[in-house]
Amino acid sequence: MKTSDKERNHILDRLPGLLLMLCAWSSSVKLFQQTCPLLSASVFVVSLICFEVDLWLASFHGESDCNIMFKRSFSSKDRAGKSARSSKKKYSEREKVKLQESLDETSLGKPVYCALTSPIITLIVGPEQRVFAAHEDVLSSCPYFCAAMRNQFLKDGTKRVDLPDEEPEILSCVLEFLYKGDYYPRLLHNPRRDSWQLENAEITQTGGCGSSEATMYHSQVGDTVLRDSVVYCAAEKYGLEDLKTLALRKQGFQSGIPVDVILRSARYAYDNTPDSESRLRAHYLAMIIRCRKIFKKSGTMQLEMEVGHKFYFDLFVAMCNHMDDLVETR
């Protein structure tokens, strides 16, 4: 490339900076003309001489530092402008509450959302044959109900599932879980304490939301048992693993339960879960070992052990293992 071509390219590259310089120069010239008319002509001549000298130097040194400065002054990637801040979406207090409720509803279980346009299935529950109704799409997410509804139609084309051995209160918890991912009282997170707690656990009047009592009367047992244990056994029957996890976690929040209710619930858990299922059984064994000072003074514990049950042999084995662990840690 010839020297004239190089000079032309340098001039074109510095043209934006030149325009900026001319604008600044024009404003300064006007000021000088107003204040000192005799010096305006000399300033103009000196500016032209400086500009020609700059062009002449650029032809020998290639891209000068001044040229680099001009390029950077019009390049957005090299310009230190305002820092780009990520826009934060603002929520109102009402939206925050709704968002928290939606997160709480889906944090533990997997609720089934559907258009609620599927056929209605009739459920006949308990010895009193109480009638429940649920959408087929919701019940289909449960392996037990999916198999029960298969190839079953009544004369009018509807489907019906009979559950003569189920407690209505327990089925209500199961259906609530299938629709919402939880059952009352819900397990909610307290952001202030950074802990979990049961919803309205201290309120006895539930206003139709369901029972918040830790125990329930079971018709087949003929006495009160821990409600979450019955829900756990129902979840085992219906093949709902997430409901089992939720029920076991909720039971850990209960306190002040009488010894006879705990032992009765432990026997119920053993009688209504397979031997391969160990989570609920281990929960009762660990609880009794942890509170052994209370149970060894209980006359109910003595009577229960005299009557005998498989549960107490497992308790004996668990205590032996616990003692072995203590010896090994010493």
- Tens digit of pLDDT for each residue in 209-233? 455 689 999 999 999 999 999 999 9
Domain residue extents for the chain: 3-65, 100-254, 258-330
Residue with tokens 């006359």: 299
Burial of residue 51 (number of CB atoms within 10 Å: 0-12, 13-18, 19+): middle
pTM over the 0.85 mark: no
For 100-254, the fitting CATH number among 3.40.50.740, 3.40.50.10190, 3.30.710.10, 1.10.10.10 is 3.30.710.10
Which residue, among 301, 299, 263, 298, has the nearest Cα to 284 in the 3D structure? 263
At residue 4, the pLDDT reads 57
What pLDDT shows up at residue 33? 53
54, with CB counted inside 10 A (0-12, 13-18, 19+), is middle
Q: How far is CA 287 from CA 174, 262, 292, 293, 316, in A?
A: 26, 10, 8, 11, 13
What tens digit of pLDDT does each residue of 174-196 get? 999 999 999 999 989 888 888 88
Bridge partner residues of 132 (DSSP): 123
Average pLDDT value for residue range 21-49: 52
pLDDT digits (tens, 9 = 90+) for 43-70: 454 454 455 545 444 444 444 444 433 3
For residue 120, list its beta bridge partners: 135
Long-range Cβ contacts of 196-205 (<8 Å, 24+ apart):
196/253, 197/253, 198/250, 198/253, 201/253
Residues in the chain: 330
User: Most confidently modeled of 24-28, 245-249, 253-257, 314-318?
Assistant: 245-249
Average pLDDT, the chain: 74
pLDDT band per the 50, 70, 90 thresholds, residue 294: confident
pLDDT exceeds cutoff 80 at 241? yes
105 contacts 180 by C-beta, under 8 angstroms? yes
Q: Which two tokens stand for residue 58?
A: 């650029």
Average pLDDT score over residue span 239-258: 93
pLDDT at 325: 85
Residue 40 has pLDDT above 90, yes or no: no
